Each structure stands twice: as structure tokens, then as C-alpha cells.
């Protein structure tokens, strides 16, 4: 059983769970076919935490199709390496409705030859959506990967008004 979450947001495809440290959100788990029926207990005292409400409001707006940047949600990305934190920070700056390549993100962090490492760092992103790694695609315009599954990535891009793209294996 997982540690109690500080946050739960229900969607038709299953609940999103979030965990907060003193510094901010350090983990966000989207439902997948494998975990969508797993129920994690939620700390009741967390409802009094303003960060929980900021995350709830941002997710509610996001899934209603409202341009959302999650800027009011404080993050704790200390679990990542210095490189991962740089990648996650740069990814967080990619605005709604914009997609870039792994190579472009590598250039933005002054590591132009590190596209593959950028992809690996994004694969370890502990807070998908808030750090919008779904907006980064392979250099050929294909989806690449997404830790929560390519169906999520397609759906999130479509929600933000971006035309569907082919998967990496298409």
C-alpha cells in the first residue's frame, strides 16, 4: 500500500493522487489502466492546506480546457539530480498549446547534444501535468514516450488544442 496522499482529484479514467512535502508537491500520479482501480488513503488534514486547493483549482481548470500553467502550485523537485531539475524547470516554461522536441529542450538548457538524456529525465518527471512533459515530442514529430502512457499524452495534447501526432511505433 502506498503512503497516504495529500491530495486526490477524481476523473472518469481514475483518480489523480498528489503528495506534498513542506516545500511543495513532490509527486503526482495519473491513473493508468494498471492502477486506475487502486485506492490510496488521503490525509484528512491536507484539505486545510492552501497548496491542495491551488492544485485542485488548477486541475479543475486544466481539464475544463482552460489555459493553465500551474504557477500557483509550489513544487519540491529535490528528488531529481541537478540535470533532471534543469530539464524539469525548462519543461515547466513550455506554455499551454506549444510542443517542442527533446532536442530543442536540450538546447534550451545549454546541452544541445543531450536530447536522449533529456528524454530520460522527462521519463523520471515526478509531477506530470504540472511539469508538462507531454508537450515534448521526438525530433521527427512523433509522440516519443510518456510515463503514464501514450493515450494520456495524446489526450493532453488534444485538450490543449494540438493536432494529434503519430506514436513512436507508428
Active-site amino acid positions? 133
| DSSP conformational letter for 164 | P
Q: Strand 14-20 and strand 25-29: pairing?
A: antiparallel
Contacts of 61 (CB under 8 A, 6+ apart): 68
In this structure, are residues 27 and 14 in contact, taking their beta carbons and an 8 Å threshold?
Answer: no
Reduce the secondary structure of 50-61 to three states and give it as a string. HHHHHHHHHHHH
CA separation for the pair 112, 9 (Å, rounded): 37
Q: What is the DSSP string of 114-130?
A: -HHHHHHHHHT-SSBTT
Amino acid at each position: 500500500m502506498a503512503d497516504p496522499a495529500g491530495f486526490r482529484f477524481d476523473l472518469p479514467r481514475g483518480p489523480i493522487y498528489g503528495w506534498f512535502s513542506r516545500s511543495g508537491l513532490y509527486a503526482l500520479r495519473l491513473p493508468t489502466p494498471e492502477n486506475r482501480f487502486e485506492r490510496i488513503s488521503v490525509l484528512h488534514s491536507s484539505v486545510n492546506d492552501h497548496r491542495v486547493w491551488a492544485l485542485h483549482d488548477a486541475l479543475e481548470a486544466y481539464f475544463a480546457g482552460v489555459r493553465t500553467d500551474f504557477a500557483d502550485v509550489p513544487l519540491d523537485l529535490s528528488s531529481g539530480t541537478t540535470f533532471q531539475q534543469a530539464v524539469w524547470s525548462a519543461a515547466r516554461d513550455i506554455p499551454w498549446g506549444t510542443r517542442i522536441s527533446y532536442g530543442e529542450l536540450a538546447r534550451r538548457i545549454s546541452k544541445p547534444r543531450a536530447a536522449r538524456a533529456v528524454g530520460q529525465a522527462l521519463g523520471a518527471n515526478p509531477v506530470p501535468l504540472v511539469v508538462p512533459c507531454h508537450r515534448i515530442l521526438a525530433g521527427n514529430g512523433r509522440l516519443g514516450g510518456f510515463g503514464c502512457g501514450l493515450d494520456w499524452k495524446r489526450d493532453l495534447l488534444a485538450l490543449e488544442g494540438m493536432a494529434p501526432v503519430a506514436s513512436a511505433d507508428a
